[in-house]
Structure 1
Amino acid sequence: MTAAPLSAPQPTTTQQTQPTEQTQPPTGQTQRTPRFGVNYTPSAGWFHHWLDFDLDQVRADLDSIAALGLDHVRVFPLWPLFQPNRTLIRPRAVEQLVALADAAAERGLDVNVDGLQGHLSSFDFQPAWVSTWHRRNMFTDPDVVAGEAEYLRTLAAALADRPNFLGMTLGNETNQFSGDPHPDPDRITPAEAGAWLDRLLDACEQGAPGKLHLHCSYDAAWYLDDHPFTPAHAARYGAATAIHSWVFNGTQQRYGSDSAAVAHHAEYMIELSKAWAAEAHRPVWLQEVGAPQPHIPADRAADFTRATVANALDCPDLWGVTWWCSHDVSKDLADFPELEYSLGLLTNSREPKPAGLELAKIVGEVRETWTPPAPRTVGLVVDLPEEVTVRATCAPGGRYYEAFMRLLAQGARPTAVLAALSGDKNHLTARGITEVLAVEDVWS
């Protein structure tokens, strides 16, 4: 597996002596050391632990996470348990979430909270008031959306005064409810998806002003034709762009476990997202990435971890890396896809696994030696409209995807630029792009 150096080279020249407001990076985003965290999966009971919440067990889990040198956790309330009725948000459940956040603070861990769970590890968790006899579209029904907004506002407000509260993520990959291959999707248009994002992000801001509120999508937003959540939604709504990079999406199956495409997949998604970003230095959060077996053999998990993180760190404007996940899913629990049982950095007995030890080593190295990566000077043109419906060219096996990987193999450090912006000198200068290539140029 190929990896960039953990401390990337510095730019040899400054881009502008007096950056404009448009090109100035957000304060503290691009120059500080990237954050390292983990998606918290409780060692006992998985996310069903909310039914039998045990703060001592949570504290022990968080101790094992902090021992790896990580600085934050992403946590997952189960929506039906927290809001079992549209007008009932259980105070005791909210208190337990706050207790978890406070326990994390005691261990030096910041907390991001996903609200609408939603979808986790192949299981859907939706309250009864949006299903069966009460079946309503979760994205467009005005009563449902009002209930979702109040739920998110309530969670954000409960944590707003906690210094270790990073902000809200609307929910985990909620875009999967909006279209195929979901077995019972809530069909919407891209415009309706945008309106939903606006409404719910505003609710988070009302509850906790000024925090890092965002949303996340699985990779259908980037790769699947006609999916209603688009790259522009991912890269323009919320305070940061969230990337969920999974090589079981066809990357490993097409190219092989030891391929450059596997090692660079997260890096590719990070840079692809920048084509649609309205700000030149919008922060990008690699919010989910993991080493799924058998796509990544157990004896290669540490190598995959190092290569993936090193290549991601070579991307300017990376906010941080949050691994999936903290602890393995217990084999006592039934019906998970087999790969879900072994994704943890730690075992159910809270012992670090090879990938966990490797990530801990990387974290220590980065904090000792970090320098921000140089700008990526080669812009590979994404010849798609801003409001894209056809996007398979960007998916594994697509012509754009393979051109990007070919440039990497040639030693270049490409980024992505939309065709509509490829002749915009101010845009290119703000991003440090000095050479623009069409896909055809790569193959000529």
Structure 2
Amino acid sequence: MHRTLRFGVNYTPARGWFHHWLDFDLQEVGADLDSIAALGLDHVRVFPLWPLFQPNRTLIRPRAVEQLVALADAAAARGLDVAVDGLQGHLSSFDFLPAWTRTWHRRNLFTDPEAVAAQEEYLRTLAAALADRPNFLGMTVGNEIDQFSGPPHPDPDPVTPEQAGRWLERMLAACERGAPGRLHVHAEYDAAWYQDGHPFTPAQAARLGAATAVHSWVFNGTAQRHGRTGTATEHHAAYLVELSKAWAENPARPVWLQEVGAPAPLIPPEHAARFTAATLEAALDCPGLWGVTWWCSHDVSRELADFPELEYGLGLLTNDRRPKPAGAVLARVAAAWRDREHRPPVRGTALVLDESRGRSACAPGGPFFEAWASLTAEGTRPAVVLSRHAEDPAHLSARGITQLLRVKEVD
């Protein structure tokens, strides 16, 4: 199935960051959305702060939900669709968890029956509030909520892969009950793909929900190892897209590049535009791509303290809503693809992934990761296929794969 590509941005308010929900100002939101729409983008991904929306296990604040709907309507007025993340959760190094889950009321987010039921109702409520809005794309369960499940989080909520899978299924079902038929997904950080023993798995990421969401950040060892212009760095997002497709049971399952950005100092600000252009070119060469949602819309204000340094300059726009060079690049690419069908050539050559080697083989520096990068640098456009599917003619045919390579065959 061929689709028109979607281009959007993760909405970080220019005034007050996500704390803007405390002093919600629709005029300020409108100015932000105007600056996003001026880039020619078609959607935003927005982030309610969970503790502000559900401060008590049995209280979902009606006024907060109304403000979310008002934001969605303001986006619609500017031609922007809206995807909503529910459980925030974790954003830019800060955790936002309701008091009823911590300290004296400590509950495991993934296994405590009362906590899970409350999360279900919260996600259902947000989805239902937006279900009649034509510009509502769907819910994401939460932003990289898998980071709460184990190290390096300082206070994790342990969970097994089986429990994580059941939790995801319940959360996605709650979203579907609230707004049937929308693009409801879940999103993990790359430990799901790269970290041995991580309880959230590639199979869950690629099989649960309406699409696979991937988050590409080259500060994970990729840029440190390969440099800002290395093939592996500029193709990291494309690699995750292709890696995710290996785990999907449906060859036509769409993949949403839901987060990708140019993190300083590994990508210095003066080189962010080049990195943006190269990353987009590589990702858009992947069949089955739903779209790209860049991180993020506006810079974090220097008036706000304690963010990691890289977070302050990730915006496509400045705090006074002026486009930066990377924003101009995304605007040009979005304009060039508007109303065009996305039909890149099939990737006929696939690198075979031996799942028994563990997920770390797929991480930066791992043998599979480096072999894929080497093939790409040589001009091959490698897909990825699991070893269990390498002898399945029907699977290979469905994906258009005609040649298989093993890691040991790559120089």
Q: Normalising by the residue count of structure 2, what TM-score does the alignment of the two structures yield? A: 0.99
- Measure, in 1, the Cα distance between the counterparts of 2:254 and 2:219: 25
Please state if 1:296 is matched with 2:267: yes
**1:398 alignment partner in structure 2:** 366
Match of 2:246 among 262, 275, 280: 275
Residue correspondence of structure 1 range 70-219 to structure 2 within 5 A: 70-219=41-190
The question of 1:230 aligning with 2:198 is answered: no
Which residue of structure 2 lines up, in the alignment, with residue 264 of structure 1?
A: 235
Residues of 1 paired with 2:377 and 2:232: CA distance? Answer: 10
Counterpart residue identity of residue 442, structure 1: V
Counterparts of 2:95 and 2:268, CA distance in 1? 28
Counterpart of 1:343 in structure 2 is 314
Which whole-Å CA distance do the structure 1 matches of 2:162 and 2:341 have between them?
Answer: 41
> Which 5+ residue runs of structure 1 have no aligned equivalent?
1-29
Tell me the CA shift for residue 368 of structure 1.
Answer: 6.7
Q: Distance in 1 between matches of 2:394 and 2:309?
A: 49
Aligned-pair distance for 1:428? 0.3
1:363 counterpart (334, 339, 357):
334
For 1:78 and 1:368, locate their aligned partners in 2 and report how far apart those are by CA, in whole Å. Answer: 34
String of CA shifts for 1:151-207, please: whole Å, max 9, x gaps.
000000000000000000000000000011000110010000000000000000000
CA distance in structure 2 between the partners assigned to 1:167 and 1:316 by the alignment:
22
Query: Quick one: which amino acid aligns to residue 97 of structure 2?
Result: Q
CA distance in 2, matches of 1:213, 1:371: 22
* Cα displacement (A) at 1:53: 0.1
Aligned to 2:402: 434
What's the offset of the Cα at 1:420? Answer: 0.5
Kept after mapping to 1: 8 A contact 2:262/2:276: yes
1:414–1:257 CA distance, 2 compared to 1 (3 A): same
Please give the alpha-carbon distance, in whole angstroms, between the structure 1 residues aligned to 2:183 and 2:198: 26
CA–CA separation in structure 1 for the residues paired with 2:372 and 2:235: 10
Paired AA for residue 175 in structure 1: D
Superposed CA offset, 1:306-352 (max 9, x none): 10011000000000000000000000000000000000000000000
SS in 2 for 1:322: strand
Give distance in 1, aligned partners of 2:339 and 2:136.
Answer: 25
Equivalent in the alignment of 1:12? none
Match for 1:425 among 393, 400, 403? 393
Q: Point out which structure has higher relative CO (alpha carbons under 8 A, 6+ apart).
A: 1
**1:298-313 map, 5 Å:** 298-313=269-284
RMSD, aligned α-carbons? 0.9
Deviation per residue, 1:106-143 (Å, 9 max, x gap): 00000000000000000000000000000110000000
Q: Which SS does the other structure have where 2:246 is aligned?
A: coil
Amino acid at match of 1:290: G
**C-alpha separation between the residues in 2 aligned to 1:234 and 1:405?**
22
Alignment of 1:38-77 (within 5 A): 38-77=9-48
2 CA distance for matches of 1:70 and 1:148? 31
Q: Separation in 2 of the partners of 1:322 and 1:136?
A: 33
Contact kept? 2:5, 2:342, Cα under 8 Å: no
Letter in 1 for 2:224: Q
Secondary structure of the corresponding residue to residue 271 of structure 2 = helix
1:398-424 deviation line (CA, Å, top 9, x unaligned): 000011011111111101100001110
| Aligned equivalents of 1:384, 1:255: Cα separation in 2 | 25
- Superposed displacement of residue 367, structure 1: 2.1
Task: Check the 8 A contact 2:142/2:187 in 1, yes or no.
Answer: yes
Describe the superposition over 1:380-402 as per-residue Cα deviations: whole angstroms up to 9, x where unpaired. 111015xx9x3100000000001
- Distance across 2 between alignment mates of 1:248 and 1:120: 16
Measured in 2, the distance between the counterparts of 1:412 and 1:65 equals 36
User: What is the letter of the counterpart of residue 92 of structure 1?
Assistant: R
> Are 2:222 and 1:251 aligned?
yes
Is 1:413 the equivalent of 2:384? no
Percent identical pairs in the alignment equals 70
The alpha carbon displacement at 1:369 in A equals 5.7
The equivalences for 1:383-394 within 5 A come to 383-385=354-356, 390-394=358-362
Q: Distance in 2 between matches of 1:209 and 1:43?
A: 32
Q: CA deviation at 1:374?
A: 1.1
Offset, 1:32: 2.0
2:5 is aligned, of 29, 34, 47, to 34
Deviation of the 1:283 alpha carbon: 0.2
Alpha-carbon distance in structure 2 between the residues aligned to 1:350 and 1:371? 30
- Gaps of at least 5 residues in structure 2 are none
8 Å CA contact 2:4–2:340 kept in 1: the answer is no
Give the whole-Å Cα distance in 2 for the aligned partners of 1:316 and 1:157.
Answer: 32
Residue-by-residue CA offset, 1:18-70 (whole Å, 9 max, x unaligned): xxxxxxxxxxxx41221000000000000000000000000000000000000
1:247 and 1:402 mapped to 2: Cα distance?
14
Aligned to 1:330: 301
**8 A Cα contact 2:41 2:331, kept in partner:** yes
